[in-house]
Structure 1
Amino acid sequence: MSRSRKSVRQCSLDDGGGIVGRAAASGEGLPEIGVVTKLRTRPHKLFSPRKSEKFLSPVKMLVGREGNYTGRAKFTSSDRCHLSSRYLPVKGPSVIDRMDSCAYVSQFSADGTLFVAGFQDSDIKIYSVDNDWKVKKNIRARSLRWTITDTSLSPDQRFLVYSSMSPVVHIVDTGSSMTESVANVTEIHEGLDFSGHDDDDHDDYSFGIFSVKFSTDGRELVAASSDDSIYVYDLAANKLNVRIPAHRSDVNTVCFADEAGHVLYSGSDDHLCKVWDRRCLGTVGKESGVLTGHLEGITFIDSRGDGKYLISNGKDQTIRLWDIRKMSSNIRGITMPRHVEWDYRWMEYPSHLRNRKHPNDQSLATYRGHRVLRTLIRCYFSPSYSTGQKYIYTGSADAHIYVYDLVTGALVAKLKFHDQIVRDCSWHPFSPMLGSSSWDGVIANWELSETKRFHCP
């Protein structure tokens, strides 16, 4: 493990104002989510600052808690979010690991005790966050094609699945005593065939899996694939449960809308976000709704977890915020022309396309500033526990990490350290800590700093 690399983060102290940034956020549907976000991050009325005060001092809130001003003798969840959302993980970073291979995946476990990183050369490392980031398990993948495209930990953290550009997803027992898990040498990595074949007499590379997720009960896997489909795999029965011909191009991302697991969101290179109710698939066999607004393919979707709101990263260099209650029952309006002269895998986004608008844009807000090029860069809501999901954040092809205010669209932080594309990053679910993975092979950990002290150009 190396911690010797000097940080090149270019945040500087200002005179006490908030972090200054510029991003474009627009839309008429923001008032409701703005109110919800404010309620989740507003301090108790007896702590509320005077009109002349821009910020409520943490010291005043602590004094009020100790004096039991509210009659609760403790902070409420919104009190806690009000305090902690002022402190962003922008300090550092420290280098957790450095590999001679592009890092594609970086994710904290649901309880924050583990951190998973996936690399192009077949390595998947699971770090013990509370044990000085020591490697708990080093997994050497099986039947890898091109790269590790995604990983997912089961809800009980006993198993990990990993995918690549193959229809076979593999599952590993993370609770075993083996630190070095080499596929089918030191441990069995069971293959789950999403193509539906029961034998080996088929083309292993007939399609690839871009995204794979455990259901909240750990009984199923949902996957997005390069054959324009969504797959649901029944782990208990050890068989493919359903294939949904979902889009007209690669499905790059899929996720569950909430803990119930009935509703799915998907995003594709056909520019569309779609909503699927699994309870209706047997009778209707089509999407419940469509969300239009992106002008290029969608690389990633993250759900707010409330069954209403989601964000998506797009190759049109934007993140968009959506409310599924505004979705259409089918594809509306004009199909935007494809720009065949532009390929995001090796070309910069043309400047003359940046100001285009979809004639039937249903998104609530648009966030600009980061770059989505060369790979399926991911974006997320900030944690509910510590920030009230006040922010959204994303990796970027310019090697930085961007943090936007959900409601105002302001760029509140721009983290500079990596030398190459930051494909994935993950905010700790409870602590002010953020892990990032980059094509420079570095896994980095960003830590706490008070937001109002920093100015990020």
Structure 2
Amino acid sequence: MSRSRKNTKLSDEASGGFSSGGFDHEIAQLTKLRSGTSENMSKLVGGKNKGWISPVKMLAARESNFLRKSKFSTADGCHILNRYLPVNGPYLVDQMESCAYVSHFSFDGSLLVAGYQGSHIRVYNVEDEWKVHKDIMARGLHWTITDTSLSRDKRFLVYSSMSPTVHIVDVGSSVMESLANVTEIHEGLDLSGDDEESFSIFSLKFSMDGQEIVAASSDDSIYVYDLVTNKRTLRIPAHKEDVNTVCFADESGHLIYSGSDDSFCKVWDRRCLASRSQPAGTLVGHLEGITFIDSRGDGRYFISNGKDQTIKLWDIRMMSSNSECVSRPRTNFNWDYRWMDYPAKLREMKHPNDQSLATYRGHSVLRTLIRCHFSPEYSTGQKYIYTGSNDGAVYTYDLVTGALVSKLNHHETTVRDCCWHPYYPVIVSSSWDGMIMRCEFPGSDKTPPSLKQRRNHRLYLN
């Protein structure tokens, strides 16, 4: 694979086709509060450029006790850290002969999970030089691993494929080579219930308490499986086409977001589903199907990746109560994103009833269900959003300005998924070239120090 292409950092002026209604909005203020300097720090060391204060001045103010406290506020820490984007590298984590489909860190960042088309799911120990912690050979695989999810306590991992049965593995066991039902039991969780029709699971997530799994399926439905009672407890006929993505809105587990090939994002309130199997609301704006949704975690904002080659930012308070009154515009183009480029005539087309807060353009959503995410709250204040792309790159956008702040070119083909370490400036990407790659800050041509070695640096910032 050629390494001649260099990673690119772009200025805040490169917006990538960003559009918003003028961001005098609450989320702009919330992002600033999370990722900007505190009011006391700004008054103390603020200069001509109010948007950026030198870390040297901030450290000097803290060490001189001008702030009358021994550590930075959370926002002050984010203000320093979110400027150090993970753009140095790439460094190879692993390479398989089959396509890499999914990758994500554990809640505490100590483990990385990666799922491959060729039946393998590997769990890497991030703090032990990214060595393989557990090598899982999937059971009942149909075509590919479509998704994986690790419980918050790192005990259990669930995985899905093009089948109504998902499987659960004990990641905390002592078995390293986990061959399904040979060296370790991979219990099957049947989401079909008494239904005879087969379907595929495209997306699944653990609840925060680890007691439930929510899944999106090809039979236009959302499923919830209760691990305590060991049975499917809910089926929602949610959309009119494949449901490609689903997630919990926040830690409560009451609200669920879903996205479908019918182009709609829907919000489901489980507290109301007993009386009426209708969504709490629908959000329209995408012109084509939705490939992925990521929640900001506050039960209010989320982003979605669409086959119309855009990411959109949403506020559920703007949702419509009746989706039937707002139809998807007819484009009169018969195209299939799996093997065709998006028609040029549609790239600047806008939905007449677009309810999104902002639209981000520049990346390519083709060939597969490419995923997008918010950057971590701890280190960036969720100041950025980032996504894989069919052109082999990872794109990072400024949430508020829409600026394309980095484009990491280190794969030869589609990057389906990527993940940002919850505490350190590290981005991992998984590509159809079979490679799991990471970029970090700081970095050089030499292999960077382990995350364990860099803890002392983080303690100094605090």
Query: Under a length normalisation based on structure 1, what TM-score does the superposition of the two structures give?
Result: 0.93
Moved over 4 A (4+): 4-7, 17-20
For 2:363, the aligned partner's letter is H
Post-superposition Cα deviations, 1:89-143, rounded to whole Å, max 9, x if no partner, equal 1110100101100000010111000000000000000000000000000000011
In 1, the alpha carbon distance for the partners of 2:188 and 2:49 equals: 62
2:89 aligned with 1:97: no
Describe the SS at the equivalent of 2:75. Answer: helix
Offset at residue 439 of structure 1 (A): 0.2
Describe the SS at the equivalent of 1:319. Answer: strand
Q: Which residue of 1 aligns with 2:319?
A: 327
Describe the SS at the equivalent of 2:379. Answer: helix
In 1, the alpha carbon distance for the partners of 2:306 and 2:385 equals: 14
Q: Which residue of 2 aligns with 1:455?
A: none
Please tell me whether the aligned partners of residues 302 and 313 of structure 2 are also in contact (alpha carbons under 8 angstroms): yes
Q: Which residue of 1 aligns with 2:58?
A: 61
Q: Which residue of 2 aligns with 1:118?
A: 115
Offset at residue 324 of structure 1 (A): 0.2
2:227 aligned with 1:221: no
Post-superposition Cα deviations, 1:238-269, rounded to whole Å, max 9, x if no partner, equal 10001000000000000011011100000000
Match of 1:403 among 372, 389, 396: 396
Post-superposition Cα deviations, 1:45-73, rounded to whole Å, max 9, x if no partner, equal 34322125763111111111111111122
For 2:274, the aligned partner's letter is G
Match of 1:383 among 370, 376, 380: 376
Change (3 A) 1:191 1:54: closer
Change (3 A) 1:7 1:67: farther
Match of 2:105 among 102, 108, 113: 108
Describe the SS at the equivalent of 2:271. Answer: helix
Unaligned runs of 5+ in 2: 444-462
1:311-326 aligned within 5 A: 311-326=303-318
Describe the SS at the equivalent of 1:80. Answer: helix
2:430 aligned with 1:433: no
In 2, the alpha carbon distance for the partners of 1:26 and 1:449 equals: 32
Q: Which residue of 2 aligns with 1:146?
A: 143
In 2, the alpha carbon distance for the partners of 1:183 and 1:107 equals: 22
In 2, the alpha carbon distance for the partners of 1:163 and 1:53 equals: 48
Post-superposition Cα deviations, 1:356-396, rounded to whole Å, max 9, x if no partner, equal 11111000000000000010000000000000000000000
Query: Under a length normalisation based on structure 2, what TM-score does the superposition of the two structures give?
Result: 0.92
In 2, the alpha carbon distance for the partners of 1:217 and 1:108 equals: 17
2:219 aligned with 1:193: no
CA RMSD, 1 decimal: 1.7
Describe the SS at the equivalent of 1:386. Answer: helix
For 2:407, the aligned partner's letter is K
Change (3 A) 1:143 1:408: same
Q: Which residue of 1 aligns with 2:354?
A: 361
2:33 aligned with 1:36: no
Post-superposition Cα deviations, 1:315-370, rounded to whole Å, max 9, x if no partner, equal 00000000000000011334322656200000000001111111110000000000
Describe the SS at the equivalent of 2:145. Answer: coil
2:274 aligned with 1:282: yes
Change (3 A) 1:197 1:340: farther
Offset at residue 7 of structure 1 (A): 6.7
Q: Which residue of 1 aligns with 2:67?
A: 70
In 1, the alpha carbon distance for the partners of 2:429 and 2:194 equals: 37
Q: Which residue of 1 aligns with 2:159?
A: 162
Unaligned runs of 5+ in 1: 451-457
2:344 aligned with 1:351: yes
In 2, the alpha carbon distance for the partners of 1:11 and 1:223 equals: 36
Q: Which residue of 1 aligns with 2:449?
A: none
For 1:45, the aligned partner's letter is E
In 1, the alpha carbon distance for the partners of 2:376 and 2:47 equals: 28
In 1, the alpha carbon distance for the partners of 2:96 and 2:321 equals: 46
2:445 aligned with 1:448: no
Describe the SS at the equivalent of 1:88. Answer: coil
Describe the SS at the equivalent of 1:47. Answer: helix
In 1, the alpha carbon distance for the partners of 2:322 and 2:340 equals: 32
Change (3 A) 1:60 1:298: same
Q: Which residue of 2 aligns with 1:454?
A: none
In 1, the alpha carbon distance for the partners of 2:11 and 2:297 equals: 28
In 2, the alpha carbon distance for the partners of 1:52 and 1:344 equals: 44
Q: Which residue of 1 aligns with 2:453?
A: none
In 1, the alpha carbon distance for the partners of 2:203 and 2:216 equals: 5
Please tell me whether the aligned partners of residues 257 and 263 of structure 1 are also in contact (alpha carbons under 8 angstroms): yes
In 1, the alpha carbon distance for the partners of 2:409 and 2:53 equals: 29
Q: Work out the percentage of aligned pairs sharing the same amino acid.
A: 63
Describe the SS at the equivalent of 2:102. Answer: strand
In 1, the alpha carbon distance for the partners of 2:219 and 2:388 equals: 26
In 2, the alpha carbon distance for the partners of 1:191 and 1:121 equals: 19
Q: Which residue of 2 aligns with 1:306?
A: 298
Please tell me whether the aligned partners of residues 5 and 95 of structure 1 are also in contact (alpha carbons under 8 angstroms): no
Change (3 A) 1:161 1:7: farther
1:130-141 aligned within 5 A: 130-141=127-138
In 2, the alpha carbon distance for the partners of 1:328 and 1:138 equals: 45
For 1:378, the aligned partner's letter is R
Post-superposition Cα deviations, 1:22-61, rounded to whole Å, max 9, x if no partner, equal 3233233732111111111221334322125763111111
In 2, the alpha carbon distance for the partners of 1:179 and 1:7 equals: 37
Match of 2:284 among 292, 295, 308: 292
Q: Which residue of 1 aligns with 2:82?
A: 85
